[in-house]
Amino acid sequence: MKRQTLKIDSITEIQNGIFAMNLGGDCSEVNAPGQFINIHVDGFYLRRPISIYSYGEDYVTIVFKVVGQGTKALSEMKVGDELDVLLPLGNGFDPEKGGEKPLLVGGGIGVPPMYGLAKDFINRGIVPQVIMGFNSADDVILLHQFKLLGIEPIVTTVDGSMGIKGFVTDAMKDLDYDYVYTCGPEPMLKAIWDVAPDGQFSFEARMACGFGACMGCTCETKYGYKRICKDGPVLYKEEIIW
Amino acid sequence: MVDLKVNLSGITLDNPVIPASGTFGYGKEFAEIYDINILGSISFKGTTRDARLGNPLPRIAECTSGLINSVGLQNPGVEAVCEKELVDMAKIYSKPVIANVSGFSIEEYVECAKAMDKQPQVGIIEVNVSCPNVHNGGMAYGVLPESAAEVTRAVKAVTTKPVYIKLSPNVTDIVAIAKACEEAGADGLSLINTMLGMRIDIARRKPVIANKMGGFSGPAIFPVAVRMVYQVAKAVNIPVIGMGGVSSARDVIEMMMAGATAVQVGAANLVNPYVCKEIIEDLPKVMEELGIEKLSDIIGIIE
């Protein structure tokens, strides 16, 4: 972890209330998809933890949803503004374990980290299967970006307005896969955990520090207490206790 | 050259800056980003006799200039702390540390203190009678002068190390409790612990924190802390470690002028992990600016 000043190179509202933000600066320590950054927003005491969508030596891109006053203020910042950021945080996904037929499942604002992971797989010569779940067609994000990687994601919507009507687990039934990577709301993670043979699950929690000092986001696992921020956010199927 | 040294019960600290218990773990996360040996001391994560997972999540709520936490004394228990955490800590920090201990009964406080007494790297035992996040423990002992004195006497009886009692601000008369601890043999006092607070998610119509209430800390409570440190330091003849919202070198100096011999930095570590390092680097500059040569000269100078 390091504290870096990153400059906003672009900010775009890609869907109602969902923003993509490119941040330039030294991001060379980011080393796994699924890691996150913790952003100081002026006027707010705690930083905002946001997962990384894609990254390189000199940039990170984040995709975040406005869920409160802090993310609202972040969404109103301008190109050229500087952000005080702690990065990289968390363990991230381990693509090595995914085998030949990995399945990537993102739900809602849990979709963005799956993009970085998909890119990683493609760099390894594996085209992963991707399922993206949303409430409605109006919530769908990043579909085009996945297609540009050469992936044809399966979309599910709860109201049936796009793709398969239902939940991501409905789409999983017909697929041949041996390992799942997923990020999204906890009920979705649990439903996937129930049916997936093995996999990695990225959790979300309210946290204060984001780097393992405050014990604000501890959960119990088969291997003892883990901090979502530092020992996670990615946990392995076999260690998760619901 | 300005002099930053202060003395707590015979232990000389290179500077008065000490990360507060529960905001610095056992130093590991911070040692990854700077050499923590620059710190005056470290008050490590509160220890109880038995391992504790702590309270249900969410445990954190943001506030204006601060946060509420309801961690609930999560720790691996005194045996694991002594056998593992302190062994690891000795590899990254070579000065005497402050062992913060808690209990749900006098016996538990005594057991923790006994174990810490045997640890050579522990310089001071800081007895937490003020955790607002656990039922029937911690704060229960800190809200009355008699029970705070009882814990003090019990711990003093089993250790030769200096014993500091960490006091709660959630009381009607902190001076009376401070005096009772002094009379019972406390070597020093740490104050203030967090203030009991609460936030409500107005959209969900539910408390933000699973436990409903928690400990409020951060810059918002700094004026309350300065006031209480001032009142207590005036009333007792033992050293006071001041804490509560300290976030800068200027805050350290203000806290010391109010009567603190040393200062703990808590919540600020969580939002700026470099804050203690920055404070230590800034102190000489601020001292020169204010015409302070020896930091210990300003302790309690406010009449």
So what's the ipTM on this one? 0.93
Tokens of A19: 């923003």
Q: Which domain holds residue B13?
A: 6-55+72-198+219-298
Q: Is residue B64 part of a domain?
A: no
Quick one: which of B199, B152, B218, B162 has its CA closest to B41?
B162
The per-residue pLDDT for B141 is 87
Strand-pair category, B213-217 with B195-198: antiparallel
Kindly report the pTM of this predicted structure. Answer: 0.95
Q: Which helix (H) or strand (E) holds A12?
A: strand A2-15
Cis peptide before A131 (omega within 30 of 0): no
Domain presence at residue B61: no
Q: Are strands A18-24 and A36-40 parallel, antiparallel or unpaired?
A: unpaired
Suggest the residue from A46, A86, A91 to mutate for an interface test with chain B (most B CBs closer than 10 A). A46
Nearest-10 Cα torsion for B257, B172, B264, B247: -80
Instruction: Dig out the tokens for B128 from the structure.
Output: 């937490």
Pull the structure tokens for residue A107. 């739900």
In this structure, is residue B204 part of a structural domain? Answer: no
**Annotated catalytic residue B112:** no
At a CB cut-off of 8 Å and minimum separation 6, what does A224 contact?
Answer: none
Low-confidence ranges of chain A (pLDDT < 70): none
Using DSSP, state whether A216 is helix, strand or coil.
coil
- Asked whether the bond before A233 is cis by omega within 30 degrees of 0, the reply is yes
Does residue B212 lie within any of the structural domains?
A: no
Kindly state the average pLDDT of the residues B72-96: 97
The domain defined by A95-202 carries CATH number 1.10.150.170: no
3-state secondary structure of B182: helix
Q: Is residue B294 part of a domain?
A: yes
Given the residues B82, B112, B131, B181, the one annotated as active site: B131
Q: How far is CA B59 from the centre of its chain?
A: 19
C-alpha to C-alpha distance for B127 and B95, rounded to whole angstroms: 20
Concatenating the DSSP letter of every residue in A71-107 gives HHHHHT--TT-EEEEEEEES----GGGG-SSEEEEEE
Cβ of B54 within 8 Å of Cβ of A215? The answer is yes
A225, two tokens = 């207490």
Alpha-carbon distance values, A57 to A24, A29, A156, A210, B64 (Å): 9, 8, 34, 22, 35
Q: Specify the CATH number for the domain of residue B16.
A: 3.20.20.70
Of B15, B12, B13, which is closest to residue B4 (Cα–Cα)?
B15
Could you tell me what percent of chain B has a pLDDT over 70? 97
State the DSSP string of B11-26. EEESSSEEEPTTSSTT
B139: confidence class by pLDDT, cuts 50, 70, 90: low
pLDDT of B22: 96
For residue B195, is pLDDT > 60? yes
DSSP state of B38: G
Q: What distance lies between CA A98 and its chain's CA centroid?
A: 17
Orientation angle between helical segments B145-156 and B174-183, nearest 10 degrees: 30
- Superfamily per CATH, domain A2-89: Translation factors (2.40.30.10)
pLDDT exceeds cutoff 90 at B130? no
The dihedral through the CA atoms of B264, B269, B272, B277 has a sign that is positive
Nearest to B74 among A208, A213, A225 (CB): A225
- The Cα of B217 is separated from the nearest Cα of chain A by a number of Å equal to 11
pLDDT score at B132? 66
Residue B135 — pLDDT band, cuts 50, 70, 90?
low
User: Could you tell me how many CB contacts below 8 A there are between chain A and chain B?
Assistant: 91
Q: Are B52 and B107 in contact (CB under 8 A)?
A: no
- What residues pair up with B125 in beta bridges, in sequence order? B99, B163
Give me the residue label for tokens 């694991």: B80
Is residue A7 within 8 Å of A24, Cβ to Cβ? yes
Residue B133 has pLDDT above 70, yes or no: no
In 3D space, the residue among B24, B19, B21, B43 whose CA is nearest the CA of residue B98 turns out to be: B43
pLDDT for position B1: 85
Nearest C-alpha in A relative to B22: A214
* Contact state of A218 with B53 under an 8 Å Cβ cutoff: yes
Contact (CB<8Å) B25/A45? no
End-to-end CA distance of chain B: 28
- The share of chain A scoring above pLDDT 70, in percent, equals 100
Preceding amide of B273 cis, omega within 30 = no
H or E stretch at B228:
helix B222-235
Which of A85, A209, A221, A222 is the best residue to mutate to test the B interface, defined by the most B CB atoms within 10 Å of its own CB? Answer: A209
**Phi-psi bin for A105: left (phi > 0), alpha (psi -120 to 50), beta?**
beta
Q: B1 in a domain, yes or no?
A: no
Residue B171's nearest CA partner among B224, B219, B233 is: B224
User: Taking 70 as the threshold, does the pLDDT of residue B134 lie above it?
Assistant: no
Cβ-based contacts of B214 with chain A (< 8 Å):
none
Q: CA B186 from chain center: how many Å? A: 15
Number of domains in chain B: 1
Question: In the structure, what pLDDT confidence band is assigned to residue B140 with cuts at 50, 70 and 90?
Answer: confident
Q: Does residue B207 lie within any of the structural domains? A: no
Which pLDDT score is estimated for A174?
Answer: 87
Question: Domains of chain A: which residue ranges?
Answer: 2-89, 95-202
DSSP state at residue B168: P
pLDDT at position A63: 97
For residue B67, is it within any domain?
A: no
- Measured from the Cβ of residue B196, the count of other Cβ atoms closer than 10 Å reads 16
**Would you say residue B199 has pLDDT above 70?**
yes
Decide if pLDDT at B138 tops 60: no
